[in-house]
């Protein structure tokens, strides 16, 4: 069993991939909180990005995963939250580096540009990585404004 609690959300463009990821992650033993939406009907991505980011911001969840068409909208929205470092990843290596060098606590996936298999690889790379600290610590500490 994995001790990491994940908040996962999407918009309508990412809904099907979100459903697949929920099953995949639960099967790997992660505690997963589905932050919506509950259908592929058109929705406003900020509503769900705020839910995931708030969960990470309040430390109710350890990490977040957001999915929308390009990944950009949810990423921009999540980064408005105090203490949230959301990163857009379209390749596993990008996801690993976001965690290792930027201490990203939310990963954003572009559903229209990655396959289900690639999305699983991105999430695995993200979750299997850890912040390296060291020379990256000072840089990460300079990200957030007052």
Q: Annotated catalytic sites, by residue?
A: 68, 101
Among candidate residues 119, 116, 117, 61, the one with its CA nearest the CA of residue 88 = 119
E strands, the chain, are 5-10, 31-34, 63-68, 86-88, 106-110
Tokens of 128: 């299997």
Q: In whole angstroms, what separates CA 8 from the centre of its chain?
A: 7
User: Which residue intervals of 28-63 are DSSP H helices?
Assistant: 45-57
- Give the separation between CA 74 and CA 49, rounded to whole angstroms: 5
Residues 6+ apart with CB under 8 A from 115: none
> Tokens 């999430």 sit at which residue?
123
């Amino acid at each position: 069993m994995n001790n990491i609690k994940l908040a996962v959300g999407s918009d309508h463009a990412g809904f099907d991939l979100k459903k697949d990821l929920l099953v995949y992650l639960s099967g790997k033993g992660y505690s997963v909180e589905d932050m919506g939406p509950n259908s592929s009907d058109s929705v406003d991505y900020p509503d769900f990005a705020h839910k995931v980011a708030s969960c990470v911001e309040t430390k109710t969840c350890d990490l977040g995963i957001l999915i929308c068409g390009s990944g950009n909208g949810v990423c921009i929205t999540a980064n408005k939250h105090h203490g949230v470092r959301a990163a857009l990843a379209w390749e596993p290596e990008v996801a690993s580096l976001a965690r290792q060098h930027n201490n990203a606590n939310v990963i954003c996936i572009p559903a229209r540009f990655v396959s289900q298999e690639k999305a699983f690889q991105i999430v695995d790379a993200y979750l299997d990585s850890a912040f390296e600290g060291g020379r990256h610590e000072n840089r990460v500490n300079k990200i957030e404004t007052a």
